[in-house]
Amino acid sequence: MDHQTTENSDLVKFLNKEKQRRAPWEKGFILKGIAVRTLMREEMSFKLCAGIHRYSQRHCQKHNTGRTAPSQLPVLRYNGPYGYRRNEPTLRHHSLRLHCLFYKSLGGKEKVREDAKTSEYLDIENYSLIKELGEGNFGKVVLASFKIKNQLTAIKIIEKQREEDFEYVRREASVLQIASRCPFLCRAMATFQTKSLILLALEYVNGGTLENIIEDRGRLSNKQVLFYASELVVGIQFLHENGIVHRDLKPENILVDEQGHVKIGDFGLVCTGMYGVNTQCGYYGTPGYTAPQVLLEEPYDAGADWWSFGVILYEMATNRLPFSPKGNLRQQVESVINREPEYPDSLSTKLRDLIKQLLKKKANQRLGVNGNIRDHPFFSTVDWSNVEKRTLKPPIKPSHESATGFNRKYISFPKEDPSETRMLKGFDYVDPSWLE
């Protein structure tokens, strides 16, 4: 027998011995009063899954040397590595958490909820793709159904092609999680990955976009502009207070829910850590909406977003852009730096002044950076506490139909690349409200 054959034989013996040693624990065991159901895997891990399981006296005697079990025992399937100690499995993680859940359930204070219930939301097999909604930064957005709840979600699918894009994806995912604290931002319901794909499951906002409203209505009234501007101010200020600059604000990225409230979306180009005097450089954004400093690739801060906001206000009120997005970069810079927008007589005095303050060429003179935009006379009639609570009645009810009654013709996820091995650590996330 050659050396290689001997090594293989020894390996087989070792694996068989290991299998025999863990065989008694394949179906489950009792750990200090907790029934732990195990689902063995080659990497020696098992899932955590809570519920009530009836254990017979015979089963308890078999796996716990005669101990009597209650007729109903909380079952917790553990997800994590384990080892052996004196012929018994030893949980290396979560054991304290398991005991806490167990005692809470006995006290009737809280129904046992297992941490690994989140695994349902992180499994690509539990989602069915319905139709493509559009293209976002770094990936396409597809309407999907979360099969377990029969709930619609918008999934952004990003293929792991360029590792240099991973940092952008991480930033986008982190902002989507923070967004759950502000009603005017689109939030993530879950973020997860497969070997080849990065997936951002977003709340499905089915009222279209601000761009759709402008296209359908043309010029908006002063009252309508005031409503959308007020909600956008709250959303933009929340981002800036958390050190986030969006860098791609435009009507296309402002979603409208079925009630008519706005939600800022597509955080693929955000920069984070923008506190105090911190600045960024580099050209990002969409022609026609980018600030002079961005076009010139000079250092910029949150003032870049306030410029884009000014452009959006102008577009809502006039149905056109203040500066032409046509031509090459040099021509765009020429238009923004050396020209002033035309302000039609239809604009109110207060709205015209607000837009002028937002479109200041010098960032340090721009409203939002220089002064609190909420104090501008255009917003003098706004009750900001009601805006933040979303109690104001939207002036326009979206005409876009809800997606609950359409014919679902399912499509497929992109094929997995078996050669892809890169995984983003600590990326998996589920919004707590989705677990309820």
* C-beta neighbour count of 37 within 10 angstroms: 18
Q: Are strands 82-85 and 127-136 parallel, antiparallel or unpaired?
A: unpaired
Round to whole Å and give the CA distance between 268 and 138. 7
- Please name every residue paired with 135 in a beta bridge, in sequence order, or none if there are none: 140
Rounded CA-CA distance 266/250 in Å is 10
**DSSP 8-state code for residue 34:** E
Question: Are 287 and 332 in contact, with CB atoms under 8 Å apart?
Answer: yes
Q: Are 77 and 39 in contact (CB under 8 A)?
A: yes
* Residue given tokens 């012929």 in the structure block: 87
Active site residue 123: no
From the candidates 248, 257, 266, 305, give the one annotated as an active-site residue: 248
Q: Cα–Cα distance between 243 and 249 in angstroms, integer?
A: 16
Residue among 359, 239, 365, 233 at smallest CA distance from 307:
359
Q: Report the side by side order of strands in the sheet with 429-430.
A: 127-136, 139-146, 151-159, 197-203, 188-193, 429-430
The alpha-helical segments, DSSP class H, found in 242-328 are 292-295, 303-318
Do residues 191 and 200 make contact, with C-beta atoms less than 8 angstroms apart? yes
Rg (CA), the chain: 28
Q: What are phi and psi of 100, to 5 degrees?
A: -60, -45
Token pair belonging to 212: 């759709």
Query: Angle 303-318/349-358 helices, nearest 10 degrees?
Result: 150
Is there a binding annotation on residue 223?
no
Q: Which residues are catalytic?
A: 248
Please report, in range form, the residues annotated as the binding site for ATP. Answer: 156
